Amino acid sequence: MISLLHTATFIILIVPILMAAYLLFLTVSAWLVTAFSKQTDVGQDKTFLFVIPAHNEETLLPVTLKNLFTDIDYDSSKYEVVIIADNCTDSTATKAREFDATVLERFHDTLKGKGYALEWGLAECWKAGKNPDAVIILDADTIVSANFLTAISANLNKGHQVIQSFYSVLNPAESWSAGLRYAALSVLHFVRPQGRRIYGGSAGLKGNGMVFATEVIKNHQWSASLTEDIEFHMDLLLSGTKVHFAPNAIVWAEMPNSIDDANSQNERWETGRIEMAKKYVPKLIGSALRPGTHSKGNAIAKLDAVMEHIIPPFALFNGLSLALLVVSAVLFFFDGTNSFAIRNLYGALFIIAVQIIYLISGLVLTKAPFAVYKNLLYAPFYVLWKLLLVFRIFTKESDDSWVRTARNEGS
């Protein structure tokens, strides 16, 4: 019986070991790219259109607009800001008009959500004759780095048509929840896309701080799905367009200080991830293996995107890995002479070690504040919460409506 359990554990460990090896490769690549790449911010010639969908954001939107109009080191005549006030019941539109922004108000009884708002708002911009070099999509609670447009302009001049900036957390020291979210995004939004630069992978779109050459975004319809950014990325990749990562162009967004406040946002993300994996993994594999459709580099990028879909969220992967380690250790204790027992234990330890290296690398590479390191003590609670959240996702019906994530407006 124990021998059978050893064999079963060995078979189960194969997939997470391969996933861990992939993450280790990206981590080493991220260090190499960071060490040897030269960051140049030379570029002041491109014109931009910031597009910000907003649903009841009267409190935080003025902070974002103040940042865009006063804190960016760029010729203000070369960029515009458009606010899409979508189904708002507060003074979001009124607050936006206090700044030099164009405000588009949209109301619809059934087609609700960020994707619908963007699809409609972009169409209105084209009708109005707006024709910048590039469109930047931001969330309504976002601060951008002073060099943001300069860095993006430089990347556009290098021929990159779709660019993802580094999307990080504005308030990592305010709570353990925000601190752990910073840690998660340091690997998901920095280590992985930075590592992909070494072999020409596609950085992916993260929903905030996304930049599109105008001709590209005009030729692709924006999706209204739960994770419209992932779906747009998949459509781009399948058509042969990769996303470039610009680590020195940074956007910071506020994250909820409470785990309870983050529930709706995380449920949308994880539900959307599952839907996108079901829809696009077969398409990506088929397109990558089909001869003569795209270049070898795009085939690699598509297979790389498959890995992005199938690797679980970091907290979930960590929880499952710890469970495998416990099982392997128990079996080793009862029958340590079995060759499978030794291999299983080493394999489980390898998976855990890689995740530690991966996480610490993300924190070091993004220069995380010390508070984030302290908040790692709360990681077990976060892992448990994530496991329960994924369980809820599989036991509830999908909802595409725009449920506004709770903000820290009382602080």
pLDDT at 293: 52
**What is the rounded average pLDDT of the residues 250-260?**
84
Q: Is the pLDDT of residue 383 over 70?
A: yes
Cβ contact 340:2 at 8 Å: no
Q: Give the model's confidence band at 411: pLDDT under 50 very low, under 70 low, under 90 confident, else very high.
A: very low
Task: Report the candidate in 238, 401, 226, 387 with the shortest Cα–Cα distance to residue 319.
Answer: 387
Highest mean pLDDT among 156-170, 222-236, 263-277: 156-170
pLDDT at 337: 73
* Cα distance between residue 158 and residue 65, in whole Å: 28
Question: For 333-374, what is each residue's pLDDT tens digit?
Answer: 887 677 778 889 999 999 999 999 999 999 999 999 999 999
Question: For 45-98, what is each residue's pLDDT tens digit?
Answer: 899 999 999 999 999 999 999 999 999 999 999 999 999 999 999 999 999 999
* Cα distance between residue 105 and residue 336, in whole Å: 67
pTM above 0.85, yes or no: yes
* Cα distance between residue 286 and residue 307, in whole Å: 14
Share of the chain above pLDDT 90, in %: 64
Residue 278's SS3 state is helix
Q: Is the pLDDT of residue 41 over 70?
A: no
Q: Is the pLDDT of residue 179 over 70?
A: yes
Q: Give the model's confidence band at 401: pLDDT under 50 very low, under 70 low, under 90 confident, else very high.
A: low
pLDDT at 2: 72
Q: In the block, which residue shows the tokens 């709770």?
A: 406
Question: For 14-27, what is each residue's pLDDT tens digit?
Answer: 999 999 999 999 99
Q: Is the pLDDT of residue 43 over 90?
A: no
pLDDT at 262: 65
CA 167 to chain CA centroid, Å, is: 7
Q: What is the DSSP annotation of 149-191?
A: HHHHHHHHHTT-SEEEEEEEES-TTS-HHHHHHHHHHHIIIII
Give phi and psi for 126, each to the nearest 5. -65, -40
Which has more pLDDT, 61 or 393?
61
Share of the chain above pLDDT 70, in %: 90
pLDDT at 261: 63
Question: For 223-236, what is each residue's pLDDT tens digit?
Answer: 776 678 899 999 99
* Cα distance between residue 134 and residue 115, in whole Å: 19
Q: Is the pLDDT of residue 154 over 70?
A: yes
pLDDT at 400: 52
Cβ contact 243:164 at 8 Å: yes
Which has more pLDDT, 348 or 385?
348
Question: For 277-312, what is each residue's pLDDT tens digit?
Answer: 899 999 999 998 886 655 556 889 999 999 999 998
**What is the rounded average pLDDT of the residues 241-267?**
83
The mean predicted confidence, pLDDT, of the chain is: 88
CATH numbers and ranges of domains, the chain = 2-35+299-393 (no CATH), 40-281 (3.90.550.10)
Beta-carbon count within 10 A of 105 CB: 13
- Residues shown for the chain: 411
Q: What is the DSSP annotation of 102-140?
A: EEEEE--SS--SHHHHHHHHHHHHHHTT---SEEEE--T
Give 333: exposed, middle or buried? Use CB within 10 Å, 0-12, 13-18, 19+. Answer: exposed
